[in-house]
């Protein structure tokens, strides 16, 4: 392999490592987000259970129970929609960019091989 070819392959490997890092970061972010949603849901669940107990005993109307959950539901669906949309767009943009960069680098390797005039084949035959 010539020096430019090994440099080109190193750039391809660098892009693959970058993709792996982005995917790993995305998985960690989703895991943390889901854990936080679970904690918030548990906290709101305790609050709602107290309101349900009060509603069953006739101390508070059922509208209070529903009203206590609506702000959480509103925030969670907007947050999840935002995160899902942004991460999906980022993944598609990143995949397209990485694919185009890899295609360009592979074409550069082919060009270098053609410029060498097939000396690799002649040397391999000896």
pLDDT, tens only, 16-57: 898 889 888 888 887 887 888 888 888 888 888 888 898 899
Task: Say if CB 74 and CB 91 are below 8 A apart.
Answer: no
**Lookup: tokens for 6:** 């090994």
Give the per-residue pLDDT at 1. 44
**R_g over Cα of the chain:** 28
Q: What is the pLDDT of residues 65-100, one digit of tens each?
A: 888 888 888 878 888 888 888 888 888 777 777 677
| pTM of the predicted model as reported, rounded to 2 decimal places | 0.53
**Lookup: tokens for 69:** 């959950």
């Amino acid at each position: 392999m010539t020096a430019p070819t090994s440099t080109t392959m190193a750039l391809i490997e660098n892009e693959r490592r970058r993709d792996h890092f982005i995917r790993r970061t995305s998985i960690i972010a989703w895991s943390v987000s889901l854990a936080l949603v679970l904690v918030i849901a548990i906290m709101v669940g305790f609050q709602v259970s107290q309101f349900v107990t009060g509603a069953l005993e006739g101390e508070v109307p059922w509208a209070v129970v529903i009203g206590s959950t609506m702000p959480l539901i509103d925030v969670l669906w907007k947050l999840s929609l935002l995160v899902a949309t942004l991460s999906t767009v980022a993944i598609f943009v990143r995949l397209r960019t990485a694919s185009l960069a890899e295609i360009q680098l592979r074409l550069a390797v082919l060009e270098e091989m053609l410029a060498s005039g097939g000396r690799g084949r002649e040397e391999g035959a000896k």
